[in-house]
Amino acid sequence: MPFATSNFLVPNGTLIVELIAFLIVLAVIGKYVLPPLNKAMTARQEQIRSELEAADRAKADADAADAERRRVLDEARHQAREIVANANVTAERATVAAQARAQAEHDRIVHAAEAEVAVAKQAAVDELTARVGQLVLAAAERVVGREIRAEDHRDLIEAAIAAVRAESGSAEDRAAASGASR
């Protein structure tokens, strides 16, 4: 049986050459490859950090702009409420003034109508009393059989006219009292 002359536990020349080659490659990588790679990674980290800071600043600016927009919006709403309140007050004043003018016009028209009615009533009473006076004279002429002159009996005619006016006035007072009680 042949025994191998080499022991796998004892290093031979190939292993040492491979080890030296590995250390040389490791040194070249450590000297020439890793520094630019580290530099590029550091630059990339700085770029990411600055972009994050810019994003934070932009977010803060957006939050400030949003707060300003809300403040302006609230102020505008407040001003709009004041304008509406002022418009309501102005409209209420205009309504009250219009109602006062309308009431004054109503009162004026009613008083004018009452005055016209009173004048027309007085004219009707005067006409009626004159007509009654003529009828009384005509009736008296027929009864007496001769003409009665108005100058002779003026006091009698005046008393009759006053009685008719008094009767007319008391009827008017009763009508006004019944109208006021309703």
Average pLDDT per 10 consecutive residues for the chain, totaling 182 residues: 60 83 96 95 97 96 96 96 95 94 94 92 86 78 66 70 73 64 56
pLDDT at 64: 95
pLDDT at 138: 74
pLDDT, residue 1, reads 45
Count: domains in the chain = 1
Judge if pTM exceeds 0.85.
Answer: no
The sign of the CA dihedral 147, 149, 150, 156 is negative
Is the residue at 7 inside a domain?
A: no
* Cβ-contact 169, 145 below 8 angstroms: no
Residue 3 lies in a domain: no
Determine the structural domain holding residue 163 and report its residue range: 13-181
Query: Is residue 102 in some structural domain?
Result: yes
Domain for residue 51, yes or no?
Answer: yes
Burial zone of 161 (CB within 10 Å; 0-12 exposed, 13-18 middle, 19+ buried): middle
User: Which position has the token pair 């191998």?
Assistant: 4
| Within a domain: 163 | yes
Q: What is the pLDDT of residue 20?
A: 95
Report the pLDDT value the prediction gives residue 33, as an integer from 0 to 100.
Answer: 93
Exposed/middle/buried for 105, CB within 10 Å: 0-12, 13-18, 19+? exposed
Given this model, what pLDDT does residue 178 score? 64
The count of other CB atoms within 10 Å of the CB of residue 176 is 10
